[in-house]
Structures are given as C-alpha cells and as structure tokens.
Amino acid sequence: MERRLLEFQANQIEMVLASHRIPSRVVGGTVTPHTVRFQLATRMDTRLAQIKNLAEELALSLHAPSCRVVRNGGMLNIEIPRPEPVTVPLLDLCRRLAYAPPCAPVLGVDEAGTPLLLNLRSPDVAHALICGTTGSGKTALARAMALSLALHNPPQQVQLLLVDPKGRGFSALSPLPHLLCPPLTAIEEALERLTWLVAEMERRDAEGISQPWWVVFLDELADLLMVGGKEMEFALTRLSQRGREAGIHLVACTQKPTAAVIGSLTKANFPVRLVGSVTSPEEARVAAGVAGTGAERLQGRGDFLLVLKGQTTRFAAAYVSPQEAQWEALRLQQATQGNRMRLVIRRIK
C-alpha cells in the first residue's frame, strides 16, 4: 500500500479521537495480507470501551467497510480491511521454511508475516475442525494443508486419506504417492474405508504402533454425517476419541459445527478450530467454541482465526490453485517412482 495513504489514515484516526477528547498518537502499524493495523498510544486513563464505541465513526473516516479495535499486550490497535486482499502462495511459503516439524501442515502466515504451522502430533492439537460460510476458503485451506504435508514428509512417514463428497476439493491431489487410496467421493466407499481405519486403530493400539501417521481430510462433514447416518458418526467419533495415540488425525470441514449437525463430535474431540468468515456473532461463538473472537468480522477468502485453548491467532491462509496442486502432486509422484527405481537398481547390483 502507498505510504501516503497510510499516513493519511493515521492522521484521520488521531483527528477522530481528538474530536472526542481522547488524545492519542499512531506510533506504528502492520500491513498484513488481509488487514491494515495501526498501533495507537493513548493516555493511561483512556478506557478501551471509549475507543471501541467509536469503531463505526473511525471506519467512516477511513472509508473502510468496518473497523476493529483490539488490545495487543499494552498497545491498542485499530484494524481495518485492506481494499484488495493479497493471496499467500503456499509453494513460496513452503520454500521459505528452513525446517518443518513432522506431521505439521502449513496454515499460512500470522499478522506479523511469520509462517504458521499446526503440529498434529501435539497432545493439545490431535484433530482440527475448519469452519466457515461458503466462500470463506475452508476447502482451499484443507487442500493446502494436505499438500504441505506431502511436500514436507515422505510417504513412508505420513499417509493421507481424502474424503471429498463434492468431487472437486481434493481431486487435484489424486496423483500424490502419500494417498492410502484415491480420493473418496461416494459416501458408501468413505464409510467402508473409515470403518477399516477404526479396525486398524484398534490393531495399532494392541501392538503399540503409531506410525506411519495417517491424516484424514474430510470435506463437507455435515453431508457425510447426514447421509452416512449412525455408522458414519460412530466411526468418526471413535477415530476422534482414540486416534491420536494410534497416529491417526482428522481434519474436517463444515459450515455448521453445531451439536445438532455433528452430533457427538463435540469440541472436546476437536480442540483446534480454524474459523473463517461467518455471518453473525452467534455463529462465530458456535464455530470457535468460545465467545468474543470477532469471527463475524473476518473478510473471507482465506482470512481465518486459529482457536486453541481459548486463545485466538488471526492468520492469512496459504493458497494453492487446483492446477498448481496437481502439478506438485505429479512431481512428487515422479520423484517417488524415481527413488524406488534407484533403490531397485542398487539391490540388483
């Protein structure tokens, strides 16, 4: 963004607050892929509620659709959406990473521009639920997470199961050598494979095995449960309750994470929520599992909140187009086949 525009907006913030007898000064800021955040210094006796009550007036003066006033440590921040959000390319982000922990998919970048990863092996994580309305970027985020796992982990270490009722979200990843089977689009096939996975989980528990790690990506969780019925709910509940110790992790996408929709798959089994844009504060509370996250003010198109143990982190989700994802999947497939061929040649020699 142009420096002159940022300076103009900073002056506008100071003028609006001064007109309400709130002396303040913009002392810095951060431009993120989705927002512009101004750091505000005020007097010690200034109440946060005073400035929050002026959010709409600030948005009007800044020609912004909305304005968010948040506290970050001892500093107040005035946050407005960028006129044109910037995409965070997954492939560039993966190249920037000097090291990625095993079984830790890339989510995107936080508000400081730092790459954000989710360690599925952590006891505090285990499984993740991606929530948000249509257009929030749920499926795109899940596709980026799946591909990042394949880019940073060999097939012998991490294997993926993709359940895609729409037949469009994960189809580009079908060449990946990490797949336990081709992406599943039929509910009956998905139920059969998930039932098999429950049996494998019990076998692993009995034998004390937890590798290779299996990560199950589920698009349209509500549809899977509605069509699959009690058997589908039973299989997913078992996997979410006991899968972590056996090295099995779930990443599920849904628009409505209510008890009426997902049944016994409660927030206790999905301790991590990745929340995209929603339409109301009530939906934000249901999606995040806690109140006051402000998810109803997210901009969509990859603007997300990571909610873990009551703490929220705003991030811009990494994006990879279906064409790029398919190209990378084919490249990984060819590289794996080449490695196997070299191994066979060595054995023959």
97 occurs within a structural domain = yes
User: What do you get for the CA distance between the two ends of the chain, in Å?
Assistant: 60
Q: Residue 191 in contact with residue 228, Cβ under 8 Å?
A: yes
Q: Work out the angle at residue 104's Cα, subtended by the Cα atoms of residues 100 and 106, and round it to the nearest 5 degrees.
A: 80
CATH of the domain at 195: 3.40.50.300
Look at residue 130 in the predicted model and tell me its pLDDT: 92
> Is residue 21 located within the same domain as residue 77?
yes
Same domain, 28 and 107: no
Residue range 202-250, pLDDT digits in tens? 999 999 988 899 999 999 888 888 888 889 888 998 998 889 999 999 9
**Residue 345 domain flag:** no
Q: Which tens digits make up the pLDDT trace of 151-172?
A: 999 999 999 999 998 888 899 9
Asked if residue 151 lies in contact with residue 125, where contact means CB atoms within 8 angstroms, the answer is no
Give the H/E segment covering residue 247. Answer: none
- 156 and 20 in one domain? no
CA distance 18 to 77: 16
Residues 138 and 271 in one domain: yes
The pTM assigned to this predicted structure is 0.85
- Tally of CB atoms within 10 A around 127: 23
Q: Which segment of 177-181, 183-187, 256-260 scores lowest on mean pLDDT?
A: 256-260
pLDDT tens for 25-71 read 888 888 888 888 888 888 877 888 888 888 889 889 888 888 888 87
Contact 77, 116 (CB under 8 A): no
Which pLDDT band, with edges at 50, 70 and 90, does 321 fall under?
A: very high
Please check whether residues 66 and 119 belong to one and the same domain: no
Do residues 93 and 232 both lie within one domain?
Answer: yes
pLDDT in tens, 116-131: 999 999 888 989 999 8
Asked, for residue 285, whether it belongs to a domain, the answer is: yes
146 shares a domain with 16: no
Q: What pLDDT was estimated at residue 90?
A: 93
* One domain, residues 97 and 77: no
Between 294 and 316, the higher pLDDT residue:
316
Phi, psi of 70 (to 5 degrees): -135, 155
* Residues 37 and 1 sit within 8 Å (Cβ to Cβ): no
Claim to verify: residue 114 and residue 204 sit in the same structural domain: yes
Q: Is residue 136 included in any domain, yes or no?
A: yes
pLDDT reading at 179 higher than 80:
yes
* pLDDT 10s digits, 266-282: 666 888 989 888 888 77
Helix segments in 20-123, DSSP class H: 48-52, 55-61, 90-96
Pair 208, 305 in one domain: yes
Of 81, 100, 117, the residue at which a domain comes to its end is 81
Q: Nearest to residue 96, comparing CAs of 151, 146, 136, 159?
A: 151
Whether the CB-CB separation of 66 and 297 falls below 8 Å is answered with yes
pLDDT score for 264: 59
Q: Range of 323's domain?
A: 88-334
Q: Does 114 lie in the same domain as 48?
A: no
Answer yes or no: is 347 within a domain: no
Specify the pLDDT at position 120: 93
Residue 205 falls inside a structural domain: yes
What was the pLDDT predicted at 284? 79
* Residue 92, pLDDT score: 92
Greater model confidence, 173 or 47: 173
Edge-to-edge strands, sheet with 68-72:
24-31, 35-42, 75-81, 68-72
What CA–CA distance (Å, rounded) separates 22 from 76? 13
What is residue 230's predicted lDDT score, i.e. its pLDDT? 87
Q: Which segment of 18-27, 152-161, 178-187 scores lowest on mean pLDDT?
A: 18-27
Domain boundary among 81, 107, 138: 81
Residue 339 lies in a domain: no
Same-domain status, 125 and 268: yes
pLDDT at 349 over 60: no
Report whether 236 contacts 194 (CB < 8 A). Answer: yes
Of residues 289 and 178, the one with the higher pLDDT is 178
Instruction: For residue 262, name the pLDDT band (cuts at 50, 70, 90).
Output: low
Please state the rounded mean pLDDT for residues 316-331. 92
Pairing mode, if any, of strands 303-308 and 272-275? antiparallel
> Considering its fold, how many domains does the chain have in total?
2
Report whether pLDDT(343) > 70.
no
CATH number at residue 63: 3.30.980.40
Q: What is the pLDDT of residues 76-134, one digit of tens each?
A: 888 888 877 888 999 999 988 878 889 999 999 988 788 999 999 988 898 999 988 88
- Model pLDDT, residue 326: 93
Q: Report pLDDT for 1.
A: 54
250 domain-assigned: yes
* Domain endpoint, select from 81, 98, 124: 81
